[in-house]
């Protein structure tokens, strides 16, 4: 009975097992077809991405080889474009929009907050650098005694004054955006703000000697007005090279003259930051948005960036657009790359405005067109350097680069 029962059951299962095997074969075939189709689509998409890349990079085959989307041919001496990251090859097979400025863009660059306010204002990120997302946001305050910031960028006022909240990308710390935070006491008075400005000016003029009155008055005037602004404080280190226009000192950092890592400020120099704010406010009044795409960079950051470019393009090519560590102006805290640090910025309204007006705020366009043999770097419409208005106006009038004006070189020894 039991045997028979099992036999019957066994026989009754046989035909169904045959059907199952056929179905399985059909499914196998279908699966192979689907996988082949997916592979074909990936190959076609990859080929398209590669060919687009070669067009946008003007034949930079090295960039293609790495399949990393960086504006290598247009990078800055201090280098603000993303260093090639090999993982990007895997995670980012597609070419981004060529119009992408590859930097942070915020909806505001100045935030006003009261001490102890329950409101936690923040700057909304409108655009991320290539490869970065909301998850890569790293927020920090440069003075937590004045304001703190949480991991989402929400700002809390601690005591009256001004500081900067810095947003950077965890994937590429050279990508930064600065938000100026003005903290008032709960009554709304900003007396501390004025005091802060005056302190900065005194710090600058103590080293200067001559411009105390001018600088103090300039710092108490409205931000949008064009006023005199002194050169940044002199760093007392015989290892650094200063040139002079009259009694105005000008720190020189180029291929010939190095920055001493021990003197690095660790952030944008305060007069430079304040003057850049005024510059941005004036641009905004003319309907243009300027922002700091990259300011201060440390020796070690520059070392990482430069070495990446050397391994990608070779040292000779890298030296035309990327500074060796110790030789980047960004290490001084006096240089800023504005908006999009690439050739995409050339010929924009913003670049034209910057070239015309940066001198009014104490900045000079450091690497003008056609001066590569003199400055050591190709044309950069986005890189400005703070020198103070006395020097910037003089340089503008002369039509010369710093190297030409002082008769100095920019060559590695």
Choose one: 86-94, 283-291, 333-341, 352-360; the region binding Zn ion (CB under 5 A).
Answer: 333-341
Closest CA to 231 of 199, 205, 254: 205
Residue list 128-157, contact with Zn ion (CB under 5 A): none
Q: Contact at 8 Å (CB) between 324 and 299?
A: no
Question: Nearer Cβ to Zn ion, position 337 or 340?
Answer: 337
Reported as half-sphere exposure (CB side, CA atoms, 13 A), residue 124 has a value of 2
According to the binding rule CB under 5 A, does residue 297 interact with Zn ion?
A: no
Rounded least distance, CB 78 to Zn ion, Å: 4
| Interface stretch with Zn ion, choices 21-29, 72-80, 219-227, 260-268 (CB under 5 A) | 72-80
Rounded to whole angstroms, how far apart are CA atoms 165 and 346? 29
264 forms part of the interface with Zn ion (CB under 5 A) = no
Of these, 161, 383, 388, 401, which contacts Zn ion (CB under 5 A)? 383
Interface with Zn ion includes 337 (CB under 5 A)? yes
Shortest gap between Cβ of 334 and Zn ion (angstroms)?
11
Q: How far apart are CA 147 and CA 158, in angstroms?
A: 5
The correct pick among 68, 78, 290, 364 for binding Zn ion (CB under 5 A) is: 78
Report in angstroms how near the CB of residue 296 gets to Zn ion at its nearest. Answer: 11
Residue closer to Zn ion, measured from CB, 277 or 331: 331
Q: Is 76 in the site for Zn ion (CB under 5 A)?
A: yes
143 vs 342 by CB, closer to Zn ion:
342
Binding to Zn ion by residue 340, rule CB under 5 A? no
Closest distance of CB 302 from Zn ion, Å: 11
Q: How many residues bind Zn ion (CB under 5 A)?
A: 4
Least distance to Zn ion, CB of residue 289, Å: 19
Q: Closer to Zn ion by CB, 76 or 331: give it.
A: 76
Residues that bind Zn ion (CB under 5 A): 76, 78, 337, 383
């Amino acid at each position: 009975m039991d045997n028979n029962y099992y036999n019957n059951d066994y026989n009754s299962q046989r035909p169904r097992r045959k059907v199952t095997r056929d179905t399985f074969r059909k499914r196998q075939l279908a699966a192979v077809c689907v996988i082949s189709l997916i592979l074909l689509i990936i190959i076609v998409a990859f080929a398209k991405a590669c060919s687009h890349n070669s067009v946008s990079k003007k034949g930079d085959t090295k960039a293609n080889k790495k399949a990393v989307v960086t504006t290598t041919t247009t990078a800055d001496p201090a280098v603000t474009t993303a260093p090639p990251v090999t993982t990007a090859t895997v995670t980012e097979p597609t070419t981004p929009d060529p119009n992408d400025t590859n930097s942070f863009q915020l909806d505001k660059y100045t935030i006003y907050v009261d001490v102890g306010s329950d409101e936690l204002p923040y700057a909304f990120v409108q655009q991320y650098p290539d490869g970065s997302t909301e998850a890569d946001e790293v927020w920090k305050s440069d003075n937590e005694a004045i304001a703190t910031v949480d991991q989402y960028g929400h700002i809390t006022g601690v005591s009256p004054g001004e500081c900067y909240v810095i947003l950077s990308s965890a994937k590429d710390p050279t990508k930064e955006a600065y938000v100026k935070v003005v903290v008032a006491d709960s009554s709304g008075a900003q007396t501390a703000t004025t005091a802060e400005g005056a302190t900065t000016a005194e710090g600058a003029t103590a080293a200067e000697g001559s411009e105390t009155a001018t600088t103090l008055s300039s710092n108490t005037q409205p931000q949008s007005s064009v006023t005199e602004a002194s050169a940044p404080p002199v760093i007392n280190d015989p290892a650094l090279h200063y040139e002079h226009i009259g009694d105005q000192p000008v720190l020189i950092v180029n291929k010939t003259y190095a920055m001493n890592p021990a003197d690095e400020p660790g952030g944008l120099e305060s007069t430079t930051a304040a003057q850049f704010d005024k510059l941005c406010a004036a641009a905004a009044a003319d309907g243009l948005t300027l922002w700091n795409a990259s300011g201060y960079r440390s020796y070690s950051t520059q070392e990482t960036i430069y070495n990446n470019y050397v391994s990608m393009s070779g040292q000779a090519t890298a030296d035309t657009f990327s500074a060796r560590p110790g030789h980047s102006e960004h290490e001084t805290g006096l240089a800023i790359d504005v908006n999009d640090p690439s050739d995409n910025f050339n010929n924009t309204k913003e670049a034209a405005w910057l070239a015309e007006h940066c001198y009014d705020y104490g900045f000079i366009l450091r690497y003008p067109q056609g001066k590569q043999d003199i400055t050591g770097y190709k044309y950069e419409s986005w890189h400005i350097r703070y020198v103070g208005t006395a020097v910037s106006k003089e340089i503008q009038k002369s039509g010369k680069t710093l190297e030409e004006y002082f008769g100095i070189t920019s060559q590695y020894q």
